[in-house]
Amino acid sequence: MNQISLMDYDEALERFDPVIGLEVHVELNTASKMFCACATTFGAQANTQTCPVCLGLPGSLPVVNGQAIEAAIRIGLSLNCQIASRCCFARKNYFYPDMTKNFQTSQHDQPICFDGSVEVEVDGQVFTVPIERAHMEEDAGKSLHIGGTTGRIQGADYSLEDYNRAGVPLIEIVTRPVMGTGAAAPAVARAYVTYIRDVVRALGVSDVRMEQGSLRCDANVSLSPKGSTVLGTRTETKNVNSLRSIERALRFEICRQAAILDGGGRIKQETRHWHEEGEYTSPGRSKEQAEDYRYFPEPDLVTVAPSPTWVEQLRVSVPPSPTARRRTLRQAWGLSEAAMNDLIALDAVELVAATVEAGADPAAARKWWTGELARLANLAGLPLDHLAITADQVAQVQALIDQGQLSDKLARAVIGAVVAGEGEPEEVVAAHGWALVSDQGALQQAVDQVIAADPDTAEAIRAGRTQAIGALIGAVMRLTKGQADAATVRQLLIERLA
């Protein structure tokens, strides 16, 4: 990593225009695979979800999964794509141990969705991302390299193959070159992948979990000298597995390429790998020669010809775009643009929406996710939606506050305990005995005890030094281990000392 020289980002952007391109793979959550009836459950025991079709045994015949086609069309419609009236599958021929058929069933010159575009917003500025195509294909199996220290094939003693994932339906969404984004290029890439994730999640057709590989992104970038229209040589950074990494990997590549071009060097067209820990890319496969996959139409599958009526029916079921949804939510919650942008930056919009849906007040829901929960996520180095707490649970804690059973301070402790895996909010409250003392008799007793223990202060308050009441409130709070409502305690003390 040390030998990679980098140009300062701002300087790179003064000298060059970045052009980005994104390939996003979405693994669909259909119950069965793309061309056979095998189950697709994530994490099942190796090779228990296989059959002659997805193992590529001779003589087996694939059948297209109708649910996958429906999902592909709905994704395409959400990305403002045209839907092909006829399209076919093609064989993409190559050898790799995780693909027993020696070809991947994909689409080539006839993708099911094409010519789309979406608008994404970065810091209030709108950028259009043109989409070339979204096509259907199948996933490969998974190689596990055993022995060695890195989990990679280098240094491994042997490799095992798990074909459970072979044949799981994928949608590959490919942009056209995205130009004119300037210094915002990495942020636009992140906003675009976030947009795809939100669209696909709203459609309910994938779990879109980057860390489980159900949403994967390859990010391309090239640099042109400022003002030039000639495209530079691009590199492709593979399988960047978090939203944050997309932005960082592209920033890194821009700085790296700028330094090479500045030194009179030439960018090698290649695949690169992003290293999350060291935050750098390293070269993978060289792509100097275009790979020849010898595509040809898949003879075992019929042409897919979705009827216009069906497509129009599906169009009606497409949810509003993330941009439109945010506008609606912002109005419903009465937020300023800036406050909404904060939620977007934290990736908290849908979490707040779900918490409101579970019954919390929008202001309270927003306070939890941008305050205590953002702090806990930050401490753990996790994205907000990876915290072990659901929107329902946050709403339950807020309900306990609203009912006067928890103070803000106790509620934060409950939230912390739920995140730490101690159970549902009510269980946590019961287990720790954290509920506020709402029993007036018990509180009255504590108040009397405190007055008896400190007759001087009590006398001073009776004599008109009302500011001294703070000391007695503090004493009651200590006596009740912080589980009394301070306002109630003050009221009881005033009544007693009147």
290 Cβ contact partners less than 8 Å away, ≥ 6 residues apart: none
Q: Which of residues 51-90 bind Zn ion (CB under 5 A)?
A: 51, 53-54
Q: Is 351 within 8 Å of 387 (Cβ atoms)?
A: no
Q: Is 343 within 8 Å of 349 (Cβ atoms)?
A: yes
Stretch that binds Zn ion, among 38-46, 168-176, 376-384, 426-434 (CB under 5 A): 38-46
Least distance in angstroms from the C-beta of 64 to Zn ion: 13
Least distance in angstroms from the C-beta of 65 to Zn ion: 11
Residue nearer to Zn ion on the CB measure, 9 or 42: 42
Q: Which of residues 157-186 bind Zn ion (CB under 5 A)?
A: none
Bridge partners of residue 20, in order along the sequence: 178, 221
Least distance in angstroms from the C-beta of 87 to Zn ion: 23
Stretch that binds Zn ion, among 48-56, 120-128, 195-203, 320-328 (CB under 5 A): 48-56
Least distance in angstroms from the C-beta of 232 to Zn ion: 43
Residue nearer to Zn ion on the CB measure, 68 or 329: 68
Q: Is 242 within 8 Å of 208 (Cβ atoms)?
A: no
Q: In what order do the strands lie in the sheet with 90-93?
A: 103-106, 90-93, 296-297
Q: Please report the beta strands in 40-89, taking only residues with DSSP state E, as ranges in sequence order.
A: 82-83
| Structure-block tokens of residue 339 | 């406050």
Residue nearer to Zn ion on the CB measure, 63 or 442: 63
End-to-end alpha carbon distance in the chain:
74
Q: Which of residues 97-116 bind Zn ion (CB under 5 A)?
A: none
What radius of gyration do the chain's Cα atoms show?
A: 29
When asked if residue 39 is in the footprint of Zn ion (CB under 5 A), the reply is: no
| Structure-block tokens of residue 89 | 């599958």
Residue nearer to Zn ion on the CB measure, 51 or 267: 51
Least distance in angstroms from the C-beta of 52 to Zn ion: 7
Q: Is 166 within 8 Å of 289 (Cβ atoms)?
A: no
Residue nearer to Zn ion on the CB measure, 138 or 236: 138
Helix axis angle, 349-357 to 337-345, nearest 10°? 100
46 half-sphere exposure, CB direction, 13 A CA radius: 8
Q: Is 153 within 8 Å of 159 (Cβ atoms)?
A: yes
Least distance in angstroms from the C-beta of 51 to Zn ion: 3
Least distance in angstroms from the C-beta of 98 to Zn ion: 15
Residue nearer to Zn ion on the CB measure, 47 or 143: 47
Residues in the chain: 498
The C-alpha torsion from 407 through 409 and 410 to 414, rounded to 10°, is 120
Stretch that binds Zn ion, among 34-42, 105-113, 243-251, 484-492 (CB under 5 A): 34-42
Least distance in angstroms from the C-beta of 93 to Zn ion: 20
Least distance in angstroms from the C-beta of 55 to Zn ion: 7
Helices in 381-424 by DSSP H: which ranges? 391-402, 408-419
Residue nearer to Zn ion on the CB measure, 53 or 243: 53
Nearest to 243 by CA among 217, 280, 223, 282: 217
Residue nearer to Zn ion on the CB measure, 51 or 318: 51
Least distance in angstroms from the C-beta of 163 to Zn ion: 8
Residue nearer to Zn ion on the CB measure, 63 or 382: 63
| Structure-block tokens of residue 12 | 């790179």
Q: Count of CB atoms within 10 A of residue 122's CB?
A: 19
CA distance linking residue 129 with residue 64, whole number of Å: 30
Q: Is 223 within 8 Å of 232 (Cβ atoms)?
A: yes
Q: Is 1 within 8 Å of 157 (Cβ atoms)?
A: no
Least distance in angstroms from the C-beta of 103 to Zn ion: 16
Q: Which of 12, 13, 38, 479 binds Zn ion (CB under 5 A)?
A: 38
Residue nearer to Zn ion on the CB measure, 55 or 339: 55
CA distance linking residue 202 with residue 323, whole number of Å: 13
Q: Which of 22, 36, 200, 329 binds Zn ion (CB under 5 A)?
A: 36
Residue nearer to Zn ion on the CB measure, 49 or 257: 49
Residues that contact Zn ion, how many (by CB under 5 A): 5
CA distance linking residue 80 with residue 203, whole number of Å: 14
Stretch that binds Zn ion, among 21-29, 46-54, 60-68, 479-487 (CB under 5 A): 46-54
User: Applying CB under 5 A, which residues contact Zn ion?
Assistant: 36, 38, 51, 53-54
